[in-house]
Amino acid sequence: MKYELLKTEGRAKRGRFHTVHGVIETPVFMNVGTVAAIKGAVSTDDLRQIKTQVELSNTYHLHVRTGDKLIKELGGLHKFMAWDKPILTDSGGFQVFSLAGIRKIKEEGVTFNSHIDGRKIFMGPEESMQIQSNLGSTIAMAFDECPPALAERKYVEDSVARTTRWLHRCKAEMARLNSLDDTINKEQLLFGINQGAIFNDIRIEHANIISELDLPGYAVGGLAVGESHEQMYDVLDHVVPYLPQNKPTYLMGVGTPANILEAVDRGIDFFDCVYPSRNGRHGHVYTNHGKLNLFNQKFEKDMRPIEEGCGCPTCRTYSRAYVRHLLKAKEMLGMRLCVLHNLYFYNTMMEEIRDALDEGRFAQYKKDKLASMEAGE
């Protein structure tokens, strides 16, 4: 049994996911290391200190630069980046559809131009699975199309139908790859992805179809791409009940601390988002009393840590005034200290959510946390 459902509170789930690279306690926030590193000069040694459970790397980025074949030759992504805990790789689909140059979508897959050197690359379900197998990640994501949130119904229907056909091909290809002698991680797990933009009926039908494939986990994709928070919560209210409760459910690319609390409440287990690292690089730091902009003049003489009582490597040693000075002086350390604090804040919030679920007080925890963050300092 890979996923143990330990406890529920309403629709919120407290679980434990067993993988070949160790146990993942859920709900979990995965820390995004796009090119096998978290932007902001954060090392895997740092990740161990800031309670990171899962690192997320981007298939597209690693494929176009450095290359998955070389990473396989060097022993796989875990060995390459010196990280022995779980790694999730996305399918490359999102970047292909959003970042890459002129593209052609066909039944076989997508042709696009690399954003690095413009060279023409083809990627379909088989290629995505092969790249993720070369990387040897713990969890591989299915290759799908993420239609724009506000796409027309007819487009979304056709796109979702193709994503379903692609999922069957992903499953077959992963089974083949996992059976090969020289595969790095023969226990690699495939997560399917639910799509359907903001059309709840399309999403529910799709959830029913993909649930039959009995995959180890399922994601809700194509959200946080331009729709409102209310639309996102509405989709979750409708679709999550149709995904297997005895499997992890992953909400891709979400979100703010408030988004995460709302989504946990709607049955989501896995999250990832660039917000904590991206905001950290710009001097925006999260606290239990709201987000602070350390560039603000009022922190010039503020010798308190970013957050009183925070156990992160930044707050244990440095003041707001010093971090502000580093940011103003464009010292790399300023950016790094903010990113470390923000990831620690997110990882700690997930720990608090798990504790609250264990003790049957998640509803109260959510209410208090939202009120405190809303109130400000």
Residues involved in catalysis = 90, 272
Site for Zn ion in 337-366 (CB under 5 A): 341
∠ CA 116-118-124 to the nearest 5 degrees?
Answer: 95
Residues 343, 42: contact at Cβ < 8 Å?
Answer: yes
Residue 63 interacting with Zn ion (CB under 5 A): no
Site for Zn ion in 17-36 (CB under 5 A): none
Among the candidate windows 13-21, 309-317, 330-338, 363-371, which touches Zn ion by CB under 5 A? 309-317
Nearest CB to Zn ion, comparing residues 247 and 341: 341
Q: Which of 50, 140, 207, 312 binds Zn ion (CB under 5 A)?
A: 312
Nearest CB to Zn ion, comparing residues 203 and 341: 341
Q: Nearest approach, Cβ of 306 to Zn ion (angstroms)?
A: 5
Residues 258, 74: contact at Cβ < 8 Å?
Answer: no
Residues 272, 56: contact at Cβ < 8 Å?
Answer: yes
Number of residues located near Zn ion, criterion CB under 5 A: 5
Among the candidate windows 225-233, 308-316, 318-326, 361-369, which touches Zn ion by CB under 5 A? 308-316
Q: Nearest approach, Cβ of 366 to Zn ion (angstroms)?
A: 22
Q: Where are the beta strands (DSSP E) in the chain?
A: 3-9, 12-19, 22-26, 28-32, 55-57, 87-89, 104-105, 110-113, 120-123, 139-141, 189-194, 217-220, 249-251, 270-272, 284-287, 290-293
Residue 88 interacting with Zn ion (CB under 5 A): no
Q: Nearest approach, Cβ of 29 to Zn ion (angstroms)?
A: 16
Residue 42 interacting with Zn ion (CB under 5 A): no
Q: Nearest approach, Cβ of 343 to Zn ion (angstroms)?
A: 10
Q: Nearest approach, Cβ of 275 to Zn ion (angstroms)?
A: 16
Among the candidate windows 74-82, 272-280, 292-300, 303-311, which touches Zn ion by CB under 5 A? 303-311
Residues 51, 347: contact at Cβ < 8 Å?
Answer: yes
Nearest CB to Zn ion, comparing residues 66 and 293: 293
Residue 315 interacting with Zn ion (CB under 5 A): yes
Q: What is the CA radius of gyration of the chain?
A: 20
Nearest CB to Zn ion, comparing residues 24 and 310: 310
Between CA 257 and CA 374 the distance in angstroms is 11
Nearest CB to Zn ion, comparing residues 259 and 314: 314
Query: DSSP states of 220-286 as a string?
Result: E-S-SSSS-HHHHHHHHHHHGGGS-TTS-EEETT---HHHHHHHHHTT--EEE-SHHHHHHHTTEEE
Helix%, strand%, coil% for the chain, nearest 5: 45, 20, 40
Q: Which of 170, 219, 310, 343 binds Zn ion (CB under 5 A)?
A: 310
Q: Nearest approach, Cβ of 311 to Zn ion (angstroms)?
A: 7
Q: Residue written as tokens 């809700």?
A: 220
User: How distant, in Å, are the alpha carbons of 66, 90, 311 from that of 110?
Assistant: 21, 16, 46
Nearest CB to Zn ion, comparing residues 128 and 287: 287
Contact residues for Zn ion (CB under 5 A)?
310, 312, 314-315, 341
